[in-house]
Amino acid sequence: MIEFSRELHEIIKFNLDGEKYVVDMEEGLVIPVDEIIWDILDLCSSYGRDLKMDQVTKNLRSKYKHSRINESMIRLSRIAEMGLLFSPAKSEFEPINVPEGLKILVIADFLGQRAFIDSLNYCLLRSLANHAEVYLAIPEREVKREEDGEEFRSFGIKPIFYKVDRTYSPAKVVPHGCDGILILSTASAFEYFFMRFNSIPVLLRVYNETLVNDAVVNATLEKYFALRGYDALICDSSWISAFFSQIVPDVRCFYNIPCGVDIEFFRPMDKLESKRKLIQALGNEFLLEKPLIGIVPGLNPRDGKLLLQKLLATNPDLNWLVVDPILERYFKKTGDKRISFFSVLNLQDKEVSPLVFSALDLAIFPAILGSSGTLLLEMAACGIPLIVWGYSKPVEIGDFCLFIHVESSLFDRVTFPIESISENINFLLGNQNEREKLSEGARKLVSSYTWDVTSQQVLDLFRRFNLKRNLHLKDTSSDFPILFSKHYNTAQGKVESHAFEMPYFFQYDIEKGIALTLLGKHTLTEIRALLMHICREQERANQIIEEIAEDMILSDPNCF
């Protein structure tokens, strides 16, 4: 969530054909906005650095619902993270002035497999080890213990072996003086210990590729409600929080930290030469006769097959390269020379990715759960013009794509915008200038996504939450002894329930009393979920949580 006070850039606002736009004069960019963002920027201009979050809500609540204000503030935060509209003085990951030398424990369920997600984890670990003291918890195995440990030691990572049985306490893997725990596993139960029985900040890394599995979505949701006030979910794709905003009361604990991209490796190559080499590798000379369109299905096999069938039927005069080998078995028997397949599942595939991507005339990418945020960045780094469809425009490449919005749904099948995709394909194929603009702009943005930046952002979050955790370490159950009682309201002629804080007899309504009672053993996120059910109003539940947080700060003003 964007934090005030923030210094607004010099901006110009204008309307064109019924749409609203803001010109960032310092960055020289035109940004399309909706009416509520327009109104928020008016408040920023009026109040300047004196603007507070509660003033935004107070001024706009008569015009917009609280949930929409919250969603718009999140969107504005993402714009600000890109260095647009606001000064970077209070950016999301501004380094905090604390001593260096953080000690970080990493929990992961991978080891030496080198699959796609594992390769990303290795890159992150190696970069973290350049800036912090990194320990890696490794399941103990009789045969490969020394071999496994030596590989990580060569990167500057210290392995900690643990037994995989019920007699072993996970607390033994936490090194003395640990500043944070980074969890890279997807759906394991092992990490719940670290979110419950220690006071160390925990960050859970969520890769979008894993969320195509419903079990992982539910595991992520369970972890969300287990988060304490100094924990967070860090996502590799900006559209993850857009999906979860439908089912969680507050997405402010979701932080978008993209993976790093080696732009010296993922770079544009000669298109004609790339096509010839691809033809030689695939044995399909038919690929040179028509434009070659890349497609990342990012869906379960059933929906991916349906999407591809519809695109083939709607665009018969195009060739297609599908970056998903799982679908190959569905189309292999058809003998259709218009369609080829490419895998990105291992490091050998990665080595030829720049050549394969450079052979594409453009690519179609779904910003939905299950699609690879890393592939989006790698294609952009190779200079491929992108047509993106999904829940929300990817912040990672901003306006340097043609975006098609589809509504996210928890239960219904994904809506395929086939007609819009086809129209945009024809537009880009007939407009070289637009292709070059998208290609150059996206590549410039992606050039700032390095593994060094990714690891520094993770460490900055640990620094922030180490300061914040002091607020939550108090024995809140003894600070808020609550007495529940009933009394007769003579004016109303009825019996009412109330809660009183002892020993000062401060009176609360029953909902806040329940919340304070639960505070000793439950996180604020869990209490918020219960209040949503009791109050049946999100605004009231949020108000109670904010009041409790303010009370805790006032009771210990030196907690930071």
Supply 161's token pair: 């072996």
pLDDT at residue 472 above 60?
Answer: no
Report CA torsion sign: 84, 86, 89, 90: negative
Letter string b/e over residues 141-165, b meaning 16 or more CB atoms within 10 A of that residue's CB: eeeeeeebbeebeeeebebbebeee
Exposure string for 55-69, b = 16+ CB within 10 A, e = fewer: ebbebbeeebebeeb
The separation between CA 281 and the C-alpha centre of its own chain, rounded to angstroms, equals 36
DSSP-derived pairing of the beta strands 232-235 and 494-501: unpaired
Instruction: Please report, for residues 212, 276, 340, the alpha-carbon distance to residue 285 in angstroms, rounded to integers and kept in the order given.
Output: 34, 8, 11
Helix (H, G, I), strand (E, B) or coil at 393: coil
User: Which has the minimum average pLDDT: 323-332, 353-362, 371-380, 515-524?
Assistant: 323-332
For the ranges 16-25, 320-329, 354-363, 483-492, the maximum mean pLDDT occurs at: 354-363
> Which span out of 22-31, 201-210, 519-528, 536-545 was modeled with the highest average pLDDT?
201-210
Q: Which amino acid is at 185?
A: S
Residue 172: pLDDT over 90: no
pLDDT band at 444 (very low <50, low <70, confident <90, very high): very high
Selection from 318, 324, 273, 284 nearest residue 302 by Cα: 324
How far apart are alpha carbons 101 and 175 in whole angstroms?
14
**Torsion 280-284-287-293 (CA) sign:** negative
Q: Give the total residue count for the chain.
A: 560
- In the prediction, which pLDDT does 220 show? 85
In the numeric block, which tokens belong to residue 176?
A: 């003395």
**Mean pLDDT of all residues belonging to the chain:** 80
The answer to whether the beta carbons of residues 555 and 479 sit under 8 Å apart is yes
Q: Does domain 271-449 have CATH number 3.30.70.1350?
A: no
Using CA atoms, how far residue 560 sits from 533, 554, 556, 557, in Å, is 32, 12, 9, 7
DSSP string covering 203-232: EEEE-GGGGGSHHHHHHHHHHHHH--TT-E
Count of CB atoms situated within 10 Å of the CB of 138: 22
Q: Which helix (H) or strand (E) holds 506?
A: strand 506-508
197-209, pLDDT tens digit by residue? 678 999 999 988 8
Report strand pairing: 506-508 vs 494-501.
antiparallel
In this predicted structure, which of 129-133, 381-385, 466-470 has the lowest mean pLDDT? 466-470
The pairing of beta strand 319-322 with beta strand 103-107 = unpaired
231, 253 Cβ separation under 8 angstroms = yes
- Fold classification of 103-256 is Rossmann fold (3.40.50)
Highest mean pLDDT of the ranges 111-120, 384-393, 551-560: 384-393
- Where is pLDDT greater, at 6 or 46? 46
Residue 558 predicted with pLDDT over 60 = no
- Where do the domains of the chain lie? 11-92, 103-256, 271-449, 474-555
Confidence of residue 491 (pLDDT cuts 50, 70, 90): low
Helices (H), 283-392: 301-314, 328-331, 347-358, 373-381
**List of residues 6+ apart from 82 with CB closer than 8 A:** 395, 398, 445
Most confident of 12-21, 325-334, 408-417, 432-441: 432-441
Cα end-to-end span (Å), the chain: 20
128 pLDDT above the threshold of 80: yes
CA distance 170 to 1: 33
Distance CA 473, CA 199 (A): 7
Residue 85 belongs to what H/E stretch? none
Please give the Cα distance from 212 to 452 (Å, whole number): 28
Residues 296 and 342: their CA atoms lie apart, in Å, by: 10
Query: Scanning the structure block, which residue is given the tokens 């992961």?
Result: 108
Sheet holding 133-139, edge to edge: 158-162, 133-139, 103-107, 180-183, 202-206, 232-235, 254-256
The whole-model pTM stands at: 0.69
Quote the pLDDT of residue 560.
37
What pLDDT band is residue 310 in, cutting at 50, 70 and 90? Answer: very high
Among 211-215, 315-319, 412-416, 490-494, which is the least confidently predicted range? 490-494
Report the SS3 class of residue 127: helix
CA 440 – CA 382 distance, rounded (Å): 10
Per DSSP, the chain holds a count of helices (H) and strands (E) of 19, 19
Each residue of 46-104: pLDDT tens digit?
777 667 777 788 888 888 887 788 788 878 877 877 778 887 544 333 433 434 579 99
As to burial, measured by CB atoms within 10 angstroms (0-12 exposed, 13-18 middle, 19+ buried), residue 521 is exposed
